[in-house]
Structure 1
Amino acid sequence: MTFVDGRDPGLPGRLLLAERDLFIPLLRERGDEEFALPVDACPRWTVRDVLAHCGAALTRVVESRFENGVFTPEGNDRDIAERADWPASRVVDELERGMTEAGDVIAGAGGALDGVAFGEWVHAGDVRAAFGAPGAYGGAGLPHALALLEWITRTRDHVPVHADLDDFDEPLRLGAVPGTRPPARFIGDATALVRLYTGRAVAAERYELAGAEESELNLYGG
């Protein structure tokens, strides 16, 4: 796995396609009752709500619909409510279409929408966790997700972190806070790192972190 200093416009699309090929078949196999399961990482939302949110977000990207309030908590709730009467199969259809078509739009947006692709991948992990299915915050898309996480944290001047991952040969160099602050040090597995950066629960014995607080890593502000 090689990480680059510049933006890779095709990276978000590759992440979405890799996740689509694994995630959509998983959803097609599930019964309607499983779409009503709660999602621990998203209080008040069921699996169906998360999928409706994900599909709606990608549809907005594909159709370039970014009116006021989009991607806010209130806007997300409106998108979910608009799909309340849809059968689960239609919710999955929309998500599949979005994961297939959004990559080119994201590539051409100059980086402004890269975080959407990463968030979609994270929410797929949330759903896997709700199902008790393997591969949450991992799987074939993990190398793409890590490279995208590295890029996103740099562009946001996030806290600097040198991450030595148990399951990858090369370290990640995340963040770029201006000034003289030395990088924090993370040692652990890649999915634990993802969980920390996205505010998901992670067992303390799965990682070591020195030079920063866990809350400083959370991209979504805790």
Structure 2
Amino acid sequence: MTTPADVRNVRDPELPGRLLAVERDALIPLLRGRAEGDFALPVAACPGWTVRDVLAHCSAAFTRVLERRFEAGVFSPESNERDIAERAEWTNARVVDELERGMAEVGPVIAKSGGALDVLALGEWVHAGDVRVAFGEAGAYAGAGLPYALTLLGQVTGGKGHLPLHADLDDADEPLRLGDATGERPPARYIGDGPTLVRLYAGRPVDGAAYELAGAEAAELNIFGD
């Protein structure tokens, strides 16, 4: 796997769409091959939600973007719960159909957002990993989309002015620089693999993972926390 060395200040507007296209080709066949009962499995990263709830949340988010519905409070916990409730009578197949359409069509809209919606693509890719964890699938936050996700993580953390971090990845040819290094804080240092780095930034458990983090606490990396 190769990863660009420094993407903090250069936004690739097409990158979110490419990530979602790659993930669509992997995730949708997986979902269509699962038993109906698997959609009721709990998702540990989203307490109180099932696999179906996570998928409904993701598909609804894409539909909102495609339809340009950005009313006050959109993507808040309350809004997310309403989106899930609106799909309560849908079949699992219909939820997956909506998700597939969103992953296929939302890229150009995100590209035109000036970076404001880039984190949505990254978040939905992380949720796909959450679903794989619930299914007991190996490589939950890895696979073909990982190089795109890591590059997008660099863009998102740079755009957010997040703390600077220099990542030496076991599974990449070049180091990855994340966050905003223009401030006074010296960059933190991470040594480990790409999936564990994604887990840290997404606030997912990393129990048993072999990595080193210096100059920052793990909780500081979470870009999806409050």
Normalising by the smaller structure, the TM-score range is over 0.9
Q: Distance in 1 between matches of 2:46 and 2:225?
A: 14
Deviation at 1:67, TM superposition (A): 1.1
Is 2:7 aligned against 1:16? Answer: no
Residue pair 2:39, 2:52 contacting (<8 A) in 1 also: yes
Residue 162 of structure 1 aligns with which residue?
166
Residue 94 of structure 2 aligns with which residue?
90
Residue 223 of structure 2 aligns with which residue?
219
Q: Distance in 1 between matches of 2:158 and 2:186?
A: 15
1:63 pairs, out of 46, 64, 67, with 67
Q: Deviations over 1:113-163 (max 9, x none)?
A: 101100110000000000001231111111110000001101111111100
Counterpart residue type for residue 202 of structure 2? T
Residue 118 of structure 1 aligns with which residue?
122
Q: Which aligned pairs between 1:6-85 and structure 2 lie closer than 5 A?
A: 6-85=10-89
Percent identity of paired positions between Structure 1 and Structure 2: 68
Q: Distance in 2 between matches of 1:221 and 1:116?
A: 14
SS of the aligned residue for 2:189 comes to strand
Residue pair 2:45, 2:204 contacting (<8 A) in 1 also: yes
Please, what is the CA RMSD of the aligned residues? 1.1
Q: Highest relative contact order (Cα 8 Å, sep 6+), 1 or 2?
A: 2
Counterpart residue type for residue 216 of structure 1? E
5+ residue gaps, structure 1, are none
SS of the aligned residue for 2:106 comes to helix
1:127 pairs, out of 127, 131, 135, with 131
Residue 188 of structure 1 aligns with which residue?
192
Q: How many residues align?
A: 222
**How does the TM-score come out when normalised to structure 2?**
0.95
5+ residue gaps, structure 2, are none
Segment of structure 1 superposing worse, 65-74 or 44-53: 65-74
Q: 1:186 to 1:77 in 2, by over 3 A?
A: same
Counterpart residue type for residue 111 of structure 1? G
